Amino acid sequence: MARQLTAWQQGMKAYFYVTIWMTISMGVILFNKYILAYSGFKYPIALTLWHMVFCTSVATIMVRVVGATKSLNMPKKEYVNRVIPIGALYAASLWLSNSAYLHLSVSFIQMTKALMPGLVYVCGVAFGMEKLTRTTSFNMFIIAIGVAIAAYGEINFIYIGVVEQLSALVFEALRLMLVQVLITRQGYAMNPIQSLYYVSPACAACLALPFIAVELPEILADVHLEIDYGMLLLNALTAFALNLAVFLLIGKTSALTMNIAGVIKDWMLIFASQHMFGNTVTFLNYLGYVIAFLAVGMYNYNKLKAAKRKEAAAKAEAAAKGGGISAAENGSK
């Protein structure tokens, strides 16, 4: 029989997985920023495509050769209708978010990510996965106001970078909603290796077309380009490790823990990028992000309360059914 962990041990275990995820996630973000903005390799589509090819190769080996996890035997029609749209949205999100690093600071990019709960909520309402309420809508409005203030205070405000980053967030919100639909309505629950095995090839295929049309001619014509293959391999390894870290964090703790840790990670990245890349963060940047940060915290708190109420109602319903069965059994004796 497995030994029950104490509260202190459970807390230390959660902190361990949170630390792993935060370290790898921050490492990937800062690594991508360095490659695209400072190493001379200014090709975001090529970098993203390389990540997806690497993830596809490793996932295929783990599923087909090593047998670390099983394939889902998904019909081709289901793959085309369900997975390829997710891969296309994932490709667009990664491409645009990496492109934003060419124009915007890491600090400002992290501040804009406070919009994600609002965008996911809007997509959830559109897909019928969330209910439209005044409280949540007002909460999302406050988040948007905070991000707008942060954007107004940004010194290096470059429109193309902002458009790329906001578009990436919209595509990511749509992707997350389609994944939720795939899992809840279609019954395809996937672990990270399975997700990479099915989604990465679709993502790579969607990235291949813009890469061939846009960046490949530039790369071939760039006579001064020196590719550090060792650095790109290490970068792909960290991107792959991030997917596994996400699985460990959610599997060993909860999605709520990941959301809270994500807020802390954003603050750490804002400060880290100031020292590593010399990003200037103004008072309005901080003011706007604090407003958005508090609104996101309130949203997470309300979601937690709603989840606890739902859990309590389910337990009460189960207890009532159990009581009714017991009464019926006693009556039959």
Q: How is the chain split into domains, by residue range?
A: 14-301
Nearest Cα to 297, choosing from 257, 260, 250?
Answer: 260
* C-alpha 94: how far from chain center: 10
So what's the pLDDT on residue 2?
Answer: 47
Q: Among all chains, which residue has been given the structure tokens 């979601």?
A: 303
pLDDT digits (tens, 9 = 90+) for 81-121: 888 998 999 899 989 999 999 999 888 998 998 888 888 88
Cβ contact 39:234 at 8 Å: no
**Which parts of the chain sit beneath pLDDT 50?**
1-2
pTM summary value: 0.79
Give the list of residues 6+ apart from residue 119 with CB closer than 8 angstroms, or none. Answer: 169, 170, 172, 173
So what's the pLDDT on residue 40?
Answer: 87
Helix, strand, coil % in the chain, rounded to nearest 5? 80, 0, 20
Task: State the amino acid at position 175 in one-letter form.
Answer: R
So what's the pLDDT on residue 1?
Answer: 44
Cβ contact 173:298 at 8 Å: no
User: What is the C-alpha separation between 185 and 252, in angstroms, rounded?
Assistant: 24
Nearest Cα to 143, choosing from 23, 258, 302, 304?
Answer: 302
Give the list of residues 6+ apart from residue 111 with CB closer than 8 angstroms, or none. Answer: 147, 150, 151, 266, 270, 285, 288, 289, 292
- The two three-digit tokens of residue 239, written as one number: 């991107």
Q: How far is CA 189 from CA 30, 52, 71, 115, 192, in A?
A: 31, 21, 11, 27, 10
pLDDT digits (tens, 9 = 90+) for 245-287: 877 776 666 655 666 677 778 888 888 888 888 878 889 998 9
So what's the pLDDT on residue 169?
Answer: 92
User: What is the C-alpha separation between 329 and 28, in angstroms, rounded?
Assistant: 60
